[in-house]
């Protein structure tokens, strides 16, 4: 039996793309013919992903399964709407358009259209969110609750298991003995990188000047980048804040996590937040804003901040870095939370979903 996965852009290192590759591996191991299609394909991914128009030859194959990964509007959503096969929507959440207002009109528009298109996908066979937060959004726009489910993105961690950290980088990051704060993800307004910088500023100025903030992720919004650069300059943080750009290599990413003393997340909107899971995996204590799907992903692990008292959040960061007993308990609880979303459990859940669609025995 054939299973097709269709999505927006095949870019190496992208969380949705990594999930698709992990699903592809499992589907093949369970005996399915598995194909991946995307509208934009990075040359590095060309061997594994086919142009989305090639999916059209399967459009009327009623016995196939089409999995559509939806995280941004793409015109290939119409293939999903028109497909005669069984259809599984995997909703990775679309950032509300207003976060991009004034920063990037094109993204604002694509997010807006993406969210407006969501109700037209209601007649699919099953719609799955990475989190219950995402699932509830589907129900809120009209998806019947009984046709929705949850599949966490926890399969992604298996890529770190066998690979060592990039040793040279790890040594560099640890060389000066500084306290390293880390935040990972696209440098985008919904992630409120400015708040991460401000919290770090208080910590760096008032608590521990021997500290550094690493912002690991692609910078793709020039206006937002300029505003962040101006903020860093205005706070005279200079070299203490480092924007690394995108990191696709899991060994390099592993080095950043292993060198981190604290993971700081100020995001206002996350449909799941894979870096939280990665921080748990690498034993880095998490301090995160209580917003969107973040509390659900963390469960009762990590530490949340509910409003922005910069001084208190910075003080909490200091406590998480220096109070070894507290840190040990937070990390231990994070590990327990991670076990609740272990890849083996997610695989079982995926099999359950495929059984619901009648493509695997119940």
| Shorter beta-carbon distance to other proteins: residue 299 or 343 | 299
Q: How far apart are CA 221 and CA 143, in angstroms?
A: 33
Site mask, other proteins, residues 85-104, x = CB under 8 A? ----------------xxx-
Site for other proteins in 9-68 (CB under 8 A): none
User: Measured on CA atoms in the order 352, 353, 355, 356, is the torsion positive or negative?
Assistant: positive
| Shorter beta-carbon distance to other proteins: residue 256 or 281 | 281
Question: How would you list the strands of the sheet with 148-150, edge to edge?
Answer: 50-51, 33-41, 2-10, 65-70, 86-91, 126-129, 148-150
Q: Are 208 and 182 in contact, with CB atoms under 8 Å apart?
A: no
Q: Which of 231, 252, 357, 360 binds other proteins (CB under 8 A)?
A: 231
- Least separation in angstroms between residue 132's CB and other proteins is 16
1 belongs to the binding site for other proteins (CB under 8 A): no
Site for other proteins in 270-309 (CB under 8 A): 290, 299-301, 303-309
Q: Which of 178, 315, 342, 356 binds other proteins (CB under 8 A)?
A: 315
| Shorter beta-carbon distance to other proteins: residue 194 or 249 | 194
Interior/surface letters 73-98, b for 16+ CB within 10 angstroms, e for the rest: bbebbebbeebebbbbbbbbbbbbbe
Q: Which of 25, 163, 311, 355 binds other proteins (CB under 8 A)?
A: 311
Binding region for other proteins (CB under 8 A) out of 22-30, 151-159, 171-179, 196-204: 196-204
167 belongs to the binding site for other proteins (CB under 8 A): no
- 201 DSSP assignment: H
Q: How far apart are CA 75 and CA 66, in angstroms?
A: 16
- Least separation in angstroms between residue 254's CB and other proteins is 26
How many residues bind other proteins (CB under 8 A)? The answer is 57
Binding region for other proteins (CB under 8 A) out of 20-28, 151-159, 163-171, 329-337: 329-337
Residues in a beta bridge with 213: 181, 241
Q: Which of 179, 330, 350, 353 binds other proteins (CB under 8 A)?
A: 330
Q: How far apart are CA 145 and CA 130, in angstroms?
A: 15
Segment (H or E) for 69:
strand 65-70
CB atoms within 10 A of CB 150: 17
Contacts of 189 (CB under 8 A, 6+ apart): 99, 100, 103, 221, 224
333 belongs to the binding site for other proteins (CB under 8 A): yes
Q: Token pair 């591996």 is at which residue? A: 25
Q: Token pair 């128009």 is at which residue? A: 53
| Shorter beta-carbon distance to other proteins: residue 9 or 113 | 113
Q: Which of 178, 326, 357, 360 binds other proteins (CB under 8 A)?
A: 326
- Least separation in angstroms between residue 109's CB and other proteins is 6
| Shorter beta-carbon distance to other proteins: residue 177 or 234 | 234
- 125 DSSP assignment: S
Residues in a beta bridge with 241: 213
State the Rg of the chain over Cα: 21
Q: Which of 29, 53, 119, 158 binds other proteins (CB under 8 A)?
A: 119
Site for other proteins in 168-187 (CB under 8 A): none
Catalog residues that contact other proteins under the rule CB under 8 A.
Answer: 75, 78, 81-82, 101-103, 105-106, 109, 112-113, 116-117, 119-120, 123, 189, 194-195, 198, 201-202, 205-207, 223-224, 226-228, 231, 234-235, 290, 299-301, 303-316, 319, 326, 329-330, 333
């Amino acid at each position: 039996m054939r299973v097709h996965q269709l999505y927006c852009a095949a870019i190496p290192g992208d969380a949705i793309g990594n999930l698709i590759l992990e699903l592809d591996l499992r589907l093949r191991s369970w005996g399915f013919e598995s194909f991946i299609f995307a509208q934009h394909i990075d040359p590095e991914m060309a061997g594994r992903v086919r142009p989305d128009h090639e999916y059209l030859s399967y459009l009327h194959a009623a016995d196939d399964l089409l999995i559509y990964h939806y995280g941004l509007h793409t015109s290939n959503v119409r293939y999903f709407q028109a497909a005669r096969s069984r259809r599984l929507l995997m909703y990775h959440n679309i950032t509300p358009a207003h976060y991009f207002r004034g920063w990037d009109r094109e993204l604002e528009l694509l997010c807006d259209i993406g969210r407006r298109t969501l109700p037209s996908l209601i007649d699919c066979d099953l719609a799955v969110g990475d989190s219950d937060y995402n699932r509830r959004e589907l129900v809120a726009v009209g998806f019947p609750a009984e046709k929705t489910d949850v599949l966490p993105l926890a399969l992604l961690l298996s890529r770190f298991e066998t690979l060592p950290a990039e040793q040279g980088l790890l040594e560099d990051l640890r060389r000066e003995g500084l306290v390293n704060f880390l935040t990972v993800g696209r440098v985008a307004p919904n992630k409120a990188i400015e708040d991460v910088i401000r919290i770090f500023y208080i910590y760096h100025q008032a608590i521990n000047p021997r500290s550094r903030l690493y912002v690991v992720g692609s910078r793709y919004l020039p206006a937002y980048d300029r505003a962040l650069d101006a903020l860093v300059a205005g706070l005279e943080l200079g070299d203490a804040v480092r924007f690394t750009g995108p990191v696709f290599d899991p060994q390099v990413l592993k080095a950043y996590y292993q060198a981190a003393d604290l993971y700081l997340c100020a995001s206002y909107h996350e449909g799941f937040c894979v870096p939280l899971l990665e921080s748990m995996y690498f034993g880095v204590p998490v301090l995160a804003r209580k917003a969107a799907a973040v509390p659900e992903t963390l469960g009762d692990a990590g530490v949340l901040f509910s409003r922005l008292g910069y001084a208190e959040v910075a003080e909490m960061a200091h406590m998480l870095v220096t109070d070894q007993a507290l840190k040990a308990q937070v990390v231990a609880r994070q590990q327990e939370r991670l076990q609740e979303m272990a890849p083996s459990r997610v695989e079982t859940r995926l099999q359950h979903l495929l059984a619901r669609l009648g493509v695997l025995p119940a």
